[in-house]
Amino acid sequence: MLEQGQFWRNKDLRKHVAIIDGKVAPTIVLKNGTYLNVFTDEWVTANIWIYHERIVYVGDEMPKLLDDTEIVNCTGQYLVPGYIEPHAHPYQLFNPESLVQHVGKFGTTTLINDNLRLLTLYDKKKAFSIIENFQKIPVSMLWWARFDSQSMLRNEEEIFNTNDILSWLSHPAIVQGGELTSWPRLIDGDDRLLYWIQEAKRIHKRVEGHFPGASEKTLTKLQLLGVNGDHESMNGE
Whether the Cβ atoms of residue 1 and residue 37 lie closer than 8 Å to each other: no
- 201 by Cβ neighbours in 10 Å (0-12 / 13-18 / 19+) ranks as middle
Phi, psi dihedral angles at 202 (to 5 degrees) = -60, -35
User: What residues does each domain of the chain span?
Assistant: 10-79, 83-230
Residue 210 is predicted with a pLDDT of: 94
The pLDDT value recorded for residue 35 is: 97
Looking at the domain covering 83-230, what would its CATH class be? alpha beta
Q: 209: buried, middle or exposed (CB in 10 Å: 19+, 13-18, 0-12)?
A: buried
The 8-class DSSP code of residue 162 comes to H
Question: What pLDDT, on a 0 to 100 scale, did the predictor assign at position 6?
Answer: 60
What is the model's pLDDT at position 140? 94
CB count within 10 Å of CB 97 equals: 14
CATH code of 10-79, in short, is: 2.30.40.10
User: DSSP code of 104?
Assistant: G
Is the CB of residue 77 less than 8 Å from the CB of residue 34?
yes
Comparing CA positions, the residue from 48, 232, 212, 88 lying closest to residue 97 is: 88
Residue-level pLDDT, tens digit, the chain, 237 residues:
455 556 789 999 999 999 999 999 999 999 999 999 999 999 999 999 999 989 999 999 999 999 999 999 999 999 998 999 999 999 988 999 999 999 999 999 999 999 999 999 999 999 999 999 999 998 999 999 999 998 888 888 889 999 999 999 999 999 999 999 999 999 999 999 999 999 999 999 999 999 988 899 999 999 999 999 998 877 766
Burial annotation 149-169 (CB, 10 A radius, 16+ → b, else e): eeeeeeeeeebbeeebbeebb
d(CA 64, CA 208): 47
Q: Answer yes or no: are the C-beta atoms of 191 and 220 closer than 8 Å.
A: no
Beta-sheet strands, E only, within the chain: 28-37, 42-51, 54-59, 70-73, 78-79, 83-88, 108-114, 140-145, 174-180, 206-209, 229-230
CA angle at 230 for the pair 228 and 234, rounded to the nearest 5° = 160
